[in-house]
Structure 1
Amino acid sequence: MTINRRAVKTAAKAFLTAALLSAATVSVSAKDLRIASGLPPLHPAHDPLYTDFKELLSDYSDGNLSGRLFGTEITTLGNMRASILSGMVEVGLFLPAYFPADLPNFNLVGDLSMLGSRNPQVTAAAMTEYVMTCEDCQSEFKKLGVVYTNSHANPYSLLTTKPVIAPEDLDGLRLRTATPQHARWVEAMGGKAVSLPTGEAFEALAQRVVDGTVTSVSDLLSFNLGEVITHITLLDMGTFHSLANHSVKNTVWQGLSVADREALMKASIVANVRTTSRWVQMVEEGKAVAREGGLTILAPSDALISRTDNFKEQDLVDAAASAQDRFGIANAREKIVRFEALVKKWEGLVAESGGNEDAMVALYESEILSQIDLARYGM
């Protein structure tokens, strides 16, 4: 007897999906939320972003909320939008960069990776305050059927198969990028930008489709990139912060009491702060792995730093013009200026507070949550 394993696997997945959907009404009424990051277990945007969030839900709601955490066998980051809208997932990690036409106001500042502070906690908080108080951003999320909670941030550098120290080292280099601004930087430096999801970087590097990737040093751990790159250039490439951490299906959010919405927000904030800290920690761990594996860690030349800084200044003008041409955002420059001001504001707040977890959570509550009426937010 021959067993069709593909058919068995497909049937099993279909059965599990049906069971999840049939339980939707029970889950909402019982406040047992179906949550998913869509990422592998070792990824910081899964652990601690979702593992800690799951535990904190119960703590902050006095047991009134709980979560069932599903893995990539149920959904992935790429199809999270469909999973949330179908109700299969009720809280999930949303990557707005995948939907530039649907979220142009969010991506206007989410794509400004190189404007990010050297301290990613600063960028994460600035991004969160900006989006939560941006009427156009909120309108975009409402049309998509999800409620935004916050964004974390991940510091970026340059990982390559060839040494990069000076500007001329980038000439002709094919580099994988995840954001439009990083792509524009690559092209301005004389390289060729290749847009690929993070999960496809390993194969692209292994097959020499690309010569490097603009990403976090932590990807040596998260995606084993240490096996396919040879050099790390510690050039400050800002942060990746185009993220909506715990996006809640709007009908689920609207079914929660105000107290439970506050509990969910606080659980999300704590998990956010921990995740951003974990990214920073993993950068140092990635450097250690690189040294142990014989990879070369390089410092950029003054010339490369200077050209990159000049690019950042000019690109803010180009980004505003692009947003107006592509998406009709007439006041794009004013919005970018507002985001710049928030980055500076949070640089001061974080410096004064020391930036530890308790201090950061308190700042989120006093500077952001206090501005939000949770009885109306997301409604």
Structure 2
Amino acid sequence: MHHSSPPGNSDLSRRGLLGLAAAVPLLAAAGCAPGASDRGLRPDGALRVSSYITPGYDDLYPGLLAFNDALDQRLGAGVVDFFDSGSLLNAEQLVPGMLRGVTDVGIQTSSYVSTSFPILGAAELPFVNDGFEQLRRALAPESPLENLMNEHLRPQGIMNLGAMPCTLQWLFTVDRPVEKPEDLHGLRIRTAGHVEGQTIKALGGSPVSMSSGELYEALERGTIDGMVSYLGTVVSRGLEDVLGYAMQAHFGGYSVDAYANTRWYADTSPEVQEALLEAGRVYAEIGTEKQLEVYEESYLPGVEESGLEIIRYDEAQVDRFRDATAGVVDWWRSTVGDDELADRALSYVKEA
């Protein structure tokens, strides 16, 4: 049975874990504490999974549960020790904490990770292919792109077990629609990742970084003029009440991925490794399907029935935005630092 421990002493123990990881980096970096179980799990036989995702994400959370269920079915009920809602590690701490052994698996949005691991940005670029279904194929388990990413990530300490691509990121504004690139000039737009930030810069806007919890007030007060996000952020925060326009186009794309500590993974038993890979496949397939179902049956109809005006670009408009953001692809290639690697990754996204 998966759980987030109740408040009280459990919270103290979590802080103790974080303190231990910081105080004894060599032990934690080994990825597997002394006295580990015979399957290469933690001394108590647990496999620790952490995420900042909360149960409030009706579209994303079922994928996390499917991942945990798949592990428990393979390894035994109760093996997974699950910390959601940032209760062990918040979004910024998750990958560094996993590298120090605080958690074995971290489920994290790619926009938080691609700054440190730019290869992941291949699937976040704007207007690079025909949209969600193509991204879904590109990020499928054992796809050429997934294999290439892991080949690049493993030496850096993490590996991708499975990716759940989110529905595409749209552009939202408060006061006026954006029908051509020039309409974005001078607007302050909240972005969640560095690729999105470059996209807004390329279109003449000013990217602003803030947490999703601050968006409602910032939009209502005019601190920002709009945002780039997938539809789930709008619905979960009630932002359709303060936004005026939604530009339904491929302004970006990100995924919520299950990552493992590579060194820890190598130290576990073949049984655990096989279970993790199977759980990653279940997560990618069932999680993505559930997310799309919620989008199509709940999120999209709800927004269409709200006062938010949805603008869908024609082919000529898409071409103008693609041309205007072409420099973002060049910028991303420079962040990867290896043109051949970047071009291979991008080709896998475009040709999926």
- The answer as to 2:340 corresponding to 1:342 is no
- Gap runs ≥5 in structure 1: 1-8, 347-379
Equivalent-residue separation in structure 1 for 2:109 and 2:162 (angstroms) = 12
Contact 2:188-2:205 within 8 A present in 1 as well: yes
Match of 2:171, SS state, is strand
Q: CA deviation at 1:86?
A: 4.5
Equivalent-residue separation in structure 1 for 2:139 and 2:344 (angstroms) = 15
2:317 alignment counterpart: 304
- The answer as to 2:301 corresponding to 1:280 is no
Equivalent-residue separation in structure 2 for 1:114 and 1:197 (angstroms) = 25
Equivalent-residue separation in structure 2 for 1:16 and 1:319 (angstroms) = 37
Contact 1:32-1:68 within 8 A present in 2 as well: yes
2:91 alignment counterpart: 77
1:216 alignment counterpart: 230
- Overall identity of the aligned pairs, in %: 21
Q: CA deviation at 1:312?
A: 4.5
Letter in 2 for 1:92: G
Give the alignment partner of residue 265 of structure 1, picking from 272, 277, 296: 277
Letter in 2 for 1:49: G
Change (3 A) 1:32 1:136: same
Q: CA deviation at 1:175?
A: 1.1
Deviations 1:78-119 (A, max 9, x none): 221343244442211244544566424x24525425435411
Q: Which has the higher contact order (CA 8 A, sep 6+)?
A: 2
2:240 alignment counterpart: 226
Give the alignment partner of residue 32 of structure 1, picking from 46, 57, 68: 46
Equivalent-residue separation in structure 1 for 2:215 and 2:138 (angstroms) = 25
Letter in 1 for 2:67: F
Change (3 A) 1:10 1:30: closer
- The answer as to 2:192 corresponding to 1:178 is yes
- Gap runs ≥5 in structure 2: 1-6, 22-31
Equivalent-residue separation in structure 1 for 2:317 and 2:76 (angstroms) = 53
Contact 1:127-1:151 within 8 A present in 2 as well: no
Change (3 A) 1:129 1:211: same
Change (3 A) 1:101 1:56: closer
Q: CA deviation at 1:163?
A: 3.2
Equivalent-residue separation in structure 2 for 1:86 and 1:45 (angstroms) = 30
- The answer as to 2:216 corresponding to 1:202 is yes
After superposing the two structures, state which structure 1 stretch, 298-307 or 155-164, moved more.
Answer: 298-307
State the TM-score, normalizing by the size of structure 1.
0.72
Give the alignment partner of residue 62 of structure 2, picking from 34, 48, 70: 48
Letter in 2 for 1:137: L
State the TM-score, normalizing by the size of structure 2.
0.77
Q: CA deviation at 1:255?
A: 3.1
Equivalent-residue separation in structure 1 for 2:8 and 2:99 (angstroms) = 22
Change (3 A) 1:42 1:218: same
Q: CA deviation at 1:30?
A: 5.3
Equivalent-residue separation in structure 1 for 2:203 and 2:230 (angstroms) = 20
Q: CA deviation at 1:216?
A: 0.9
Deviations 1:12-53 (A, max 9, x none): 622454489799746625542121221211226751221111
Letter in 2 for 1:112: L
Structure number having the greater helix percentage = 1
Give the alignment partner of residue 159 of structure 2, picking from 147, 156, 160: 147
1:13 alignment counterpart: 11
Contact 1:116-1:238 within 8 A present in 2 as well: no
Change (3 A) 1:184 1:82: closer
Deviations 1:234-278 (A, max 9, x none): 12224213x5x2222345323322232122111112112223233
Equivalent-residue separation in structure 2 for 1:100 and 1:221 (angstroms) = 25
- The answer as to 2:80 corresponding to 1:67 is yes
Letter in 1 for 2:174: T
Letter in 2 for 1:125: A
Give the alignment partner of residue 136 of structure 1, picking from 138, 152, 159: 152
**What is the aligned residue count?**
323
Contact 1:226-1:290 within 8 A present in 2 as well: yes
Equivalent-residue separation in structure 2 for 1:117 and 1:260 (angstroms) = 37
Match of 2:161, SS state, is coil
Letter in 2 for 1:223: R
Letter in 2 for 1:48: P
Match of 2:71, SS state, is helix
- The answer as to 2:268 corresponding to 1:253 is no
Q: CA deviation at 1:57?
A: 0.8
Change (3 A) 1:337 1:86: closer
